Amino acid sequence: MALYGTDPQPGYLIPSSDRKPKLPFEYRFHKTPMPLLSQGLYFNESTLPNPCSNPDHGPPSRWVYYYARGLLQCALDLTPLSWNLVIRGYSSSSHPREAVLVFHEMRARGPSPNKFTFPFLLKACARTLDFEIGKQVQAYIVKNGTNSDIYVQNTLIHFYGSCGKILDARQVFEEMSLRTVVSWTAIITAYVENLQYEESLKTFYLMRICRFEPDQTTMVVLLSACAELGHLNKGRLFHAQVIANGFAMSVQLGTALVNMFAKCGNIDCAYRVFSIMPERNVWSWSAMIIGLAQHGQAGEALRLFSYMKHIKSVVPNYVTYLGVLSACTHAGLVEDGYRFFHDMVHVHKIEPMMTHYSAMVDTLGRNGRLEEAYKFITDMPIAADGVVWRTLLGACSIHDVRNAGDVREKVRKRLLELEPARGENYVMVSNMYAKIGLWEEVVKVREVMREEGLRKSAGESSIEVGGLLYTFFCGDDSQGDCPHIYRLLDVLILHMKSTIGIDEGNSAFWLSD
């Protein structure tokens, strides 16, 4: 609930049958003095403030909403503009659903919605992922005759993309008679949001063939696609285009570049971009901290975090803490992990998400503190998910497996109860037993898998060689010289064993299945 700030609670509807202007219930019981409608209108249509005109200024105070709604109720002969402003306010607030309710009121007793109404309304539907409502809105748009408006069409693409309906988004895009760079970016974004990164790049090439020039927003989206694909060469190319086009290094563009370089394995370039960014916010800092943590530079990540907080006075958010906790995991800093976790909850009032819990479990587990990790899980205020249990099971497999029987068995039981249909879990359990030589258990687990018809779903990875991206699956031998690849892998494992002392069990664990 803390997330909702001081907004009014949803579900409040002004009864349309009530002719006499009356203040809403919540309005009457509000503690702070507020302007009374009976003393005349304090706002008119042109001065009605947009409660969310600048999201950086925090959530709007609740009376702004009540006042706006009271105004809609009391005033007669309102133009669509008044309604649109209230719908706009809600669509970018933390209660976007309310925008839809206001729209219903508008249809029931207000003027006819116009072409400005729908972009706001669809934005609200996109934010609430309300596909059914949005679909109805689209039908209404067609009836209303505003479906040829380019703003409406672009928002429709965005809406369908957000709801995971990429085909609907594509259809809207195809049927457009006129497109702008915004339309192209919207459909490219829809592909990225739906994890179809290759398709997003293809659409970009098509965009270029149609002689549209990308802008900053397009580049930001493409860079995030490169980051997800790990496609450093493409990312570099887009970076070059950013420079060649003379695009200003905005916060979003800089953050996207930092993230792309970090995800593609070039932490030095990430840091270089980060250091020349003219402006940074918590997202930029988070991207850099996560990048450093993922590259094993935990000390640097924590130093940066401290610098961000104390010197730059940037307030960390839950993503920043993901990076910080992951740095603690990689550096084996259990006590620091506890301390950061505590700060996150009690100083910054951030409610931990499952990922934060699993990072803590990972930190404890990797340090061999298996009992403690188990207790941490059972003390969590929310039920642990499969990821958390798998994290701890993984820790049981690498730490003192022979003596960890107690925790190990409890974890195995909980995991298989929670996700009995997930093949990967059985593979993990079976490998763990194999490692400590409990072969009869291995046979039992494999038996269960066979009976239930369970298989491990194929893990997917990709690697860039000579500018070409190769995507492959677990056990996939379609990539040409397979024996050669495995021989090379053996050499690499041998090298790791001799340099950092990876033990036999571990490499067997990695290579299984």
For residue 18, what are its two tokens? 């009530």
Q: Which of 41, 74, 176, 181 binds DNA (CB under 7 A)?
A: 181
| Residue 513 in contact with DNA, rule: CB under 7 A | no
Placement of tokens 């349309």 in the chain: 16
**C-beta closer to DNA: residue 27 or 118:** 118
Report if residue 391 touches DNA, rule: CB under 7 A: yes
Nearest one of 474, 416, 414 to 444, comparing CA atoms: 416
How many residues touch DNA (CB under 7 A)?
Answer: 70
Does residue 201 interact with DNA by CB under 7 A?
Answer: no
Instruction: Dig out the tokens for 339 from the structure.
Output: 């301390």
- The single-letter DSSP state of residue 278 is S
Query: Per CB under 7 A, does 251 bind DNA?
Result: yes
471: which strand partners?
462
Q: Is 123 in the site for DNA (CB under 7 A)?
A: yes
Q: How many C-beta atoms surround the C-beta of residue 65 within 10 A?
A: 25
Q: Binding marks (x or -) toward DNA, 311..350, rule CB under 7 A?
A: ------x-xx-x---x--xx--------------------
- Give the DSSP letter of residue 55: G
Q: Report the amino acid identity of residue 277.
A: M
Q: Could you tell me which of 103, 119, 120, 180 has the C-alpha nearest to residue 152?
A: 119
Query: Considering the complex, what minimum distance in angstroms separates the CB of residue 215 from DNA?
Result: 5
CB nearer to DNA: pick between 40 and 381: 381
| Candidate residues 13, 26, 148, 215; the one interacting with DNA per rule CB under 7 A | 215
Q: Say how many C-beta atoms besides its own lie within 10 A of residue 499's C-beta.
A: 8
249 binds DNA (CB under 7 A): no
227 binds DNA (CB under 7 A): yes
Residues between 259 and 278 with contacts to DNA, criterion CB under 7 A: 259, 263
Considering the rule CB under 7 A, would residue 387 count as an interface residue with DNA? yes
Q: How near is the Cβ of 356 to DNA at its closest, in Å?
A: 9
* Residue 385 C-beta: closest distance to DNA, Å: 7
68 touches DNA (CB under 7 A): no
Q: Tell me the Cα Rg of the chain.
A: 27
Structural tokens at position 174: 């195809």
Q: Which is nearer to DNA, 128 or 286 (CB)?
A: 286
138: number of Cβ within 10 Å: 20
Least Å distance, CB 49 to DNA, is 12
Tell me, rounded to whole angstroms, the distance of Cα 59 from its chain centroid: 21
* 189 part of the interface to DNA, by CB under 7 A: yes
Site string for DNA, 125-164 (x = CB under 7 A): -x----------------------xxxx-xx--x------
180 binds DNA (CB under 7 A): yes
**Cα 5 to the center of its chain, rounded Å:** 21
Tokens encoding 230: 């790990």
Cα–Cα distance for residue pair 169/290, rounded to 1 Å: 32
Cβ proximity to DNA: between 73 and 397 the closer is 397
For residue 501, the one-letter residue type is G
In sequence order, what DSSP letters do the residues of 321-375 get, joined into one string? HHHHHHHHHHHT-HHHHHHHHHIIIIIS-PPPPHHHHHHHHHHHHHTT-HHHHHH
Parallel, antiparallel, or unpaired: how do β-strands 460-465 and 468-473 relate?
Answer: antiparallel
Asked if 116 is part of the footprint of DNA (rule: CB under 7 A), the reply reads yes
Could you tell me where the beta strands, DSSP code E, fall in 382-490? 460-465, 468-473
Which CB, 131 or 151, lies closer to DNA?
Answer: 151
Q: What residue ranges bind DNA (CB under 7 A)?
A: 80-81, 84-85, 88, 114-116, 119-120, 123, 126, 149-152, 154-155, 158, 180-183, 185-186, 189, 192, 214-218, 220-221, 224, 227, 250-253, 255-256, 259, 263, 281-284, 286-287, 290, 294, 317, 319-320, 322, 326, 329-330, 353-355, 358-359, 362, 387-388, 390-391, 394
